[in-house]
Amino acid sequence: MKSTKDSWNADLYDAKHSFVSNYGNDIIELLTPKEDEKILDLGCGTGDLANRISVEGANVVGVDQSKNMVGQALSKYPEIQFTVGDATSLDYKDEFDAVFSNATLHWIKQPEKALGSIYKSLKTNGRFVAEFGGKSNVQMITDEIILQFTEAGLEFKPENFPWYFPSIGEYATLMEKAGFRVTFAQHFDRLTPLDGENGMKNWIEMFGSQIFEGLTKELIDSIVSRVETNLKNTLYKDGIWLADYKRIRVIGLKE
């Protein structure tokens, strides 16, 4: 889910970044979906996790801000309800037994609005279960990109940094302010293998394109190439690129 124009490439996402939904299996275990529960998958992407929750017998609604992603989800899983929507202004009230979100909330730079919207969407005793990028997520990659901006004599614009990576303390506090009782919060490292020889380049193209807004393709390619060269010693092992992920998992109850 992004707050800018829809730059998601749904085919590239499915072909080269399926790890996003594959890692989501663990968070589905935390969700423990039950038969006939109504569950909102917030930031559903191309629908794989919504489908897995549906297989457990729950009634799933998938929401994503990207029309490209929702279109792909509908073509893959036409029996599931998918819709385009914004996490900060959901059109639901006291409707869901659970709100589930994987790899989405770090795209939302207005976390208070998102949490308020999620809280309103839940029934009393409903639960919010999420995983997303936490403090220092992909910092080795982004530090190198910013360094290469400087080396090229370019100004890096902080407003073009597309993500919000909070600490546990920061996010749990925001959840409590929204009304949740926080029952679980975890921050952990997860070095994540990227697909293929161009794994780092593809990752930057898929998820970090906003950083390069306004630059020519030639300049972007030059910066990314230098980023790859400089990260190869630390984030390239046995022929596989790695992303230095640090994740947050949370569970909150609406009482």
Domain 10-136+163-194+243-253 classified CATH 3.40.50.150?
A: yes
Q: Please provide the distance, in angstroms rounded to a whole number, between the alpha carbons at the two ends of the chain.
A: 27
Three-state secondary-structure class, residue 246: strand
Q: What is the C-alpha separation between 217 and 226, in angstroms, rounded?
A: 14
pLDDT of residue 20: 55
pLDDT confidence of residue 228: 98
Backbone angles phi, psi at 9, to 5 degrees: -100, 100
- Whose structure tokens read 């996402």? 13
DSSP for 65-131 reads: S-HHHHHHHHHH-TTSEEEE--GGG-S-SS-EEEEEEES-GGG-S-HHHHHHHHHHHEEEEEEEEEE
Tens digit of pLDDT at every position of the chain (255 positions): 333 444 545 455 455 444 555 667 889 999 999 999 999 999 999 999 999 999 999 999 999 999 999 999 999 999 999 999 999 999 999 999 999 999 999 999 999 999 999 999 999 999 999 999 999 999 999 999 999 999 999 999 999 999 999 999 999 999 999 999 999 999 999 999 998 899 999 999 989 999 999 999 999 999 999 999 999 999 999 999 999 999 999 999 999
Domains of the chain, by residue range, sit at: 10-136+163-194+243-253
The dihedral formed by the CA atoms of 175, 139, 64 and 6, expressed in degrees to the nearest 10: 140
pLDDT at 195: 87
Report pTM: 0.89
Q: Give per-residue burial for 155-187: e unless 16+ CB within 10 Å, then b.
A: eeeeeebbbbbbebeebbebbeebebebeebeb
Instruction: Kindly give the pairing relationship between strand 240-253 and strand 181-193.
Output: antiparallel
- Owner of token pair 């490439």: 9
In the block, residue with structure tokens 């921050």 = 187
The predicted pLDDT at position 26 comes to 85
